[in-house]
Structure 1
Amino acid sequence: MPDIEASPYDGGDDKNANVVVVDEIDRAKDVQIDVHTHLRDGVQRRMEQRHIQMIALAGTLGTGLFLSSGKVIAHGGPVGAVLAYILTGSIAYCMLICVGEMAVYAPVSGGYIHFIERWWNPSVGFAVGIQVCFQYCLFLPSEIIAANILISYWDKAFPASHQAGYMLALMIGAAAINYFGVRWFGESEFVFAVIKIALVIGLIIAGIVIDLGGAPNHDRIGFRYWKDPGPFAPYHGSGDLGKFLGWFTDLLQAAGSYAGIESIVVAAAEVKNPRVALTKAIQRLFWRILIFYVLLIFVVGLIVRYDDPSLLQSTGTAASSPFVIAMERAGIKVLPSIVNAAILTSAFSAGSSLMYSASRMVYGMALRGFAPRVLAKTTKRGLPIVALAFVTMFYALAFMSLNDGASTVLNWLSNLNALIGYIVWGSIAITFLRFKKGLEAQGIDRKTFHYHNRWQPLPAYWVIGWSSLILLFNGWEVFTRGSWNATNFVIAYITIPVFLVLVGGYYIVKKPRHLKPEELDMFSNIPTDEEVTHEETPPKTWFGKAVNWLFT
């Protein structure tokens, strides 16, 4: 990367300059600074490479994959489910290629929100940032609720007093991990990621054993369920149309399992050797998607019939898992409790991880003037304490689940934000195209970077095309005969007009100038290699050496 230092911002008469007021800079108050050239980032690089590698491998593996995969099989059939996960995985990976190249070039706070604001348009960056922060803060209590329900697998009585106590303990634990600092968060995610990886590998092995007749009932299944009831499930109709609709519905459900996979770049400003760490993480994500998602769904489709009535009975515990259903059908009695315990750690980890991502998103928004500046305050050790406190308050929404009516509202709000992910993915891809044009217009060779993809811009176009199609047609069920429901229609499409209103509102109020590719800021506030290079102390124990070999 060229080592070019941008000229200082001189204030000037440009009313459209992207500036933010930050106090206590150079011991002065109310000093206007350019958010790109003189940005004062308070976070510190305390996360190890092995932390970011494990977060990349298993950071977003949660209850959606382990519990809701049964619905994917029921709606699309075994082959339809695998094809849906392959296609959705390809969209997610192409998006990661786009955001990864930008993050390796500019490992700074704010992640992809900053990239969108900087290289596309501040109006779009503001809109994406508001929606993502809103989405993460609403999903935060949902993970606590999911973990609480998982505990009911053992606590059969499960009175309201027990539920409140369990949720309070889960909240305190997840919050404490974040308040202790980024290194504690990294260590905890490393441990949870190991558990989740072990769970995935264990489920795959257990599924293969069941399929080959190694279970107590010694029933060799093979590909029997691909023949009867068949490879594709008809959904809302019969024949080829019903099978196609089942597969398309699975695209939406599979996206929930990949949701948040792009948040890996949020840690770019707090990891040591970010350019090396992120490059390795992005390169390894292909195999994560192939093994942890596609292979897992393939095995599920071998051992459970798509017309099994238990697949659509959502209990929120391990009883909903298609693997547990297969184990019970095969006569295995012990593993369901072990699976439930492992999924519980996944839900707890997801709550902690969402808190980290949401607080850093809020911090990055405040740092660039998109949120109150007080949210950009950090401690001496680089902890965005005010942003963390703000995000922590959303945990309290979990107590709404103790009331049936309030729980319905919470679920409605969560579903309302489910498709924000595709808006984010599409925005990231469009931003990359602008980033690429800016580099070309200014004579900067991408091939000299630590990470670049030679197939670009094809992956970016792939993301934009599929994201647009899915956003446009995701509510198709509402328009089928006899299925009209105003609430479902709003949930399916309200995210689009809200996004456009946020973009338009910011543009009307702030009037940011849309820059040409040759005007894009490709240099300021981007650290040089020397500034972010860190030589880690070689491990001395055999265990440390093994971990270092595997994850760095």
Structure 2
Amino acid sequence: MNNRNRRPGDLSEDVEDHSRDSCQDQTHRKLKNRHIQLIGIGGTIGTLLFVQIGSALTKGGPASLFLAFAVWCTFILAMNNCLAEMVTWMPISSPFARYADRFVDPALGFASGVNYFIYEASIVPFEMVAFNLVIHYWTDEIPLSACIVFILVCYASFNLFAVRFYGEMEFWLGSGKIILAIGLIIFTCITMLGGNPLHDRYGFRNWDSSKVLGAPFAEYIETGNLGRFLGFLACLILAAITVTGPEYVSMTAGEAEHPRRDMPKAFNSVFFRLTTFFLLGTLCVGTIVPYSDPDLRKALSDARPGAGSSPYVIAMQHLNIKVLPDIVNALILSSVFSAGNSYVYCGSRTLFGLALEGKAPKFLAKCNSSGVPVYCVGVMIAIGLLSFLQVSNSSAVVLQWFVQLETASQVLNYAMISFSYIRFYNALKAQGISRDILPYKSPWQPFCAYYALTVTFIMAFVAGYIVFLPGQWEKTTFLFSYAMIGVCPALYLFWKILKKTKWRDLEEIDFFNKERAEIDAYER
């Protein structure tokens, strides 16, 4: 049956599976709308927003920090539009890696899935290293090994139960993140107007060049306009891995209770998350503490516990505010834990999606009676053992390694998503299928997809720019920054040669396949 003659809900038996090796999805649709909303926030707000953002502030200054995050938010909105349209059409497990298979080439689906799995696998130990760093705000008596084992046991426990239990955990942990983010914005507004023990009405003093030398655009590495541009670039690179969201929402698609009803709501809320948590958050960070603050710089260079974990804590100490730093640090600790928990979930579902497509060992596609891919969760927990790297290296050094690896994987993942959407859009057009029949029709397409593809292509090569500056060469930085640019094409060629895959013809892309029919039947 020709695709253009099919209609949503057609249960015809002549549909050909995309992979002979594919397995049946045994996950359960138990995630409610409130779970999906908070899981999206859980993966979005974490260590980078509260811990690492101080590093970007010292390099670029308050204005560069705010502008960099504002620019990257426009890109995330474009990416959100691409994912929302595809995910609501076919809400399946590990969606965007499998869309690359459906709309482009099975080899790209393999490269996309492995790349995103590497991203999630690297960010889990990152959050664990950060957890250990933040907890030492109170004491140095807790052994590093004991802290790591405790976190791994918790992650395993929360992810091996039924997905509804995981959703409930993330709902409450995500609620704590929202309280923390909004609370810090309110804290900034009150203290800048003089509501602090010192009665210091500091306002936007830290943005004033007459009060803070070099503000609001700081020079980084070089002097003059070049130095200010490099400072902005440093902020933009951090924004590239800090400002996220749509991909975490999409990862819940295969386990959403009412995907066609709830997924559009979750995607639509991304704009408000970006505005509230990231734009206002970065504005506050640049306001409460000067970019040149010696305590902030020393804390970051020494990876000092507590003060090194958050610019907010440093600001509170400067203003002689008692107790509140402990409360903030406790909420940051729960935020870091929640983020790592979300990454274990997303990473395990990515690996599960690869197994469903026959691109990973079949045993990884097996689920327990609660619909949890237990072997995939086990792999993610095992990868968390990489956090033991900090036993022989400084926490700050290990954090930087993971940040560099995450940046490259993240932007390449976005590039493959945007290219998959371009193929999705063009295939609909080639087959004469109107986008008006889609459950969700996103605005400004295909401009958003081309914009996202262009930005990610540029950022993939810019992310490790610092190693090419005079006197800045460092082999480890180069390796972690650019390894994935070589690995992804190698993965694509490996699978294409091994399986002799073909580039999918726009006229033959199947929009009404068996999976789509099953989802339609489930919705009815």
- On whether the aligned pair clears a TM of 0.5, the verdict is yes
In structure 2, relative to structure 1, the CA distance for the partners of 1:406 and 1:299 (3 Å cut) is closer
Q: Distance in 1 between matches of 2:304 and 2:441?
A: 41
In structure 2, relative to structure 1, the CA distance for the partners of 1:496 and 1:529 (3 Å cut) is closer
**2:237 partner letter:** L
Do the aligned partners of 1:377 and 1:384 also contact (CA within 8 Å) in 2? yes
Do the aligned partners of 1:58 and 1:197 also contact (CA within 8 Å) in 2? no
In structure 2, relative to structure 1, the CA distance for the partners of 1:498 and 1:221 (3 Å cut) is same
Q: Does 1:89 align with 2:79?
A: no
Q: Distance in 2 between matches of 1:407 and 1:68?
A: 10
3-state SS of paired residue (1:307): coil
- Aligned CA RMSD, in angstroms, stands at 2.1
Which stretch has the larger CA shift, 131-140 or 102-111? 131-140
Instruction: Give a deviation string over 1:5-39, Cα, whole Å, max 9, x none.
Output: 354357xxxxxx84233xxxxxxxxxxxxx5xxx6
- Which residue of structure 2 aligns with residue 305 of structure 1? 290
Which stretch has the larger CA shift, 453-462 or 379-388? 379-388
Deviation at 1:178, TM superposition (A): 0.9
- Which residue of structure 2 aligns with residue 288 of structure 1? 273
Mapping for residues 476-495 of structure 1, pairs under 5 Å: 476-495=465-484
3-state SS of paired residue (1:59): helix
Deviation at 1:300, TM superposition (A): 1.6
In structure 2, relative to structure 1, the CA distance for the partners of 1:6 and 1:318 (3 Å cut) is farther
Aligned length: 509
Do the aligned partners of 2:68 and 2:239 also contact (CA within 8 Å) in 1? yes
Mapping for residues 491-506 of structure 1, pairs under 5 Å: 491-506=480-495
Which stretch has the larger CA shift, 426-435 or 377-386? 377-386
Q: Distance in 1 between matches of 2:384 and 2:220?
A: 37
- Which residue of structure 2 aligns with residue 3 of structure 1? 9
Q: Does 1:53 align with 2:59?
A: no
Match of 1:66 among 50, 53, 58: 50
In structure 2, relative to structure 1, the CA distance for the partners of 1:191 and 1:527 (3 Å cut) is farther
Q: Distance in 1 between matches of 2:34 and 2:401?
A: 37
In structure 2, relative to structure 1, the CA distance for the partners of 1:491 and 1:476 (3 Å cut) is same
Which stretch has the larger CA shift, 517-526 or 402-411? 402-411
- Which residue of structure 2 aligns with residue 538 of structure 1? none
Which stretch has the larger CA shift, 199-208 or 261-270? 261-270
Do the aligned partners of 2:38 and 2:174 also contact (CA within 8 Å) in 1? yes
Instruction: Give a deviation string over 1:365-394, Cα, whole Å, max 9, x none.
Output: 001011001111112332212222222222
- Which residue of structure 1 aligns with residue 331 of structure 2? 342
Gaps of 5+ in 1: 11-16, 22-34, 535-552
3-state SS of paired residue (1:512): coil
Q: Distance in 1 between matches of 2:512 and 2:169?
A: 35
Match of 2:367 among 357, 360, 378: 378
Deviation at 1:218, TM superposition (A): 0.8
Gaps of 5+ in 2: 1-6
**1:73 partner letter:** L
Q: Does 1:236 align with 2:221?
A: yes
3-state SS of paired residue (2:44): coil
Q: Does 1:172 align with 2:153?
A: yes
- Which residue of structure 2 aligns with residue 256 of structure 1? 241
Q: Distance in 2 between matches of 1:284 and 1:533?
A: 23
Instruction: Give a deviation string over 1:491-545, Cα, whole Å, max 9, x none.
Output: 22221111111111111111111122111121111146653438xxxxxxxxxxx
How much identity, in percent, do the aligned residues show?
35
- Which residue of structure 2 aligns with residue 539 of structure 1? none
Q: Does 1:103 align with 2:87?
A: yes
Q: Does 1:132 align with 2:116?
A: yes
Q: Distance in 2 between matches of 1:66 and 1:372?
A: 38
Q: Distance in 2 between matches of 1:408 and 1:318?
A: 17
Q: Does 1:451 align with 2:451?
A: no
Could you tell me the TM-score, scaled by structure 2's length? Answer: 0.92
Q: Distance in 2 between matches of 1:527 and 1:342?
A: 44
Q: Distance in 1 between matches of 2:105 and 2:394?
A: 40
Q: Distance in 2 between matches of 1:191 and 1:237?
A: 45
Q: Distance in 1 between matches of 2:8 and 2:512?
A: 8
- Which residue of structure 1 aligns with residue 176 of structure 2? 195
In structure 2, relative to structure 1, the CA distance for the partners of 1:510 and 1:451 (3 Å cut) is same
- Which residue of structure 2 aligns with residue 442 of structure 1? 431
